[in-house]
A and B are shown apart, each in its own frame.
Chain A
């Protein structure tokens, strides 16, 4: 059975840091791109960051560029999102999403999602 499970969400002060982890199982992790997508309370979906199957290419939304770093460890079937310089507007449920394709630049379709982990940025 394919599974995607996020962890690491927490309450953090503005300016603080947090590291999210996504553990997957049931499929060949290194063959697929992965992305982080967030949803602020009562709002729509926003793509945050993506990484190719090999980890050689990473992509970030303008809203998090220079603050968030996406990485993956294919030997451990894990995806990470290092979030630095957190702002109140980063408060959201963060979803880990498996892509149907190897690289975002050649197609993207998020065909498997976790249940999300909540990040709250507040003083």
Chain B
């Protein structure tokens, strides 16, 4: 199975909003609302930011929001801050009973 498709990089200035897309197929992202997003800083373990498309775990800033339309999910970061600079990954459950990660998006705060 191919990874979900994410842009390699997205950048923004402090205070701006950015959106990361995650595109799958009718067999994964389009078929289930089991979409999650993870943030990973260099040398660190990933951190869950969003699950079930749009649910924020306790402790995650409300500047992070998720959505989905058809075979594409999106993560929006509002009021971009320097500490948001990291790699972001989406995941989806699939019809083959597996979990698929996206290729990852490097967010740069310029």
The residues of A with any CB-CB pair to B shorter than 8 Å are: 35, 37, 44-47, 50, 59-62, 95, 100, 104-105, 107-111, 113-116
Contact = CB atoms under 8 A, between A and B. Distances in A.
B101 interface: yes
Nearest to A35: B99
A116 B46 CA distance: 11
B48 A108 contact: no
B52 A109 contact: yes
B30 interface: no
B93 A105 contact: yes
A108 B36 contact: yes
Interface string B54-91: 00010000000000000000000000000000010101
Interface of B: 1, 3, 34, 36, 38, 40, 45-48, 51-52, 57, 87, 89, 91, 93, 96-104
Given A44-B3, A45-B104, A113-B46, A107 B52 contact: yes
Given A44-B3, A115-B45, A110 B98 contact: no
B45 A61 contact: no
A108 B104 CA distance: 18
B89 A47 contact: no
B99 A44 contact: no
B104 A104 contact: no
A45 B52 contact: no
B2 to A, nearest CB: 11
A47 B103 CA distance: 12
B48 A109 contact: yes
B101 A109 contact: no
A109 B51 contact: yes
A50 B96 CA distance: 13
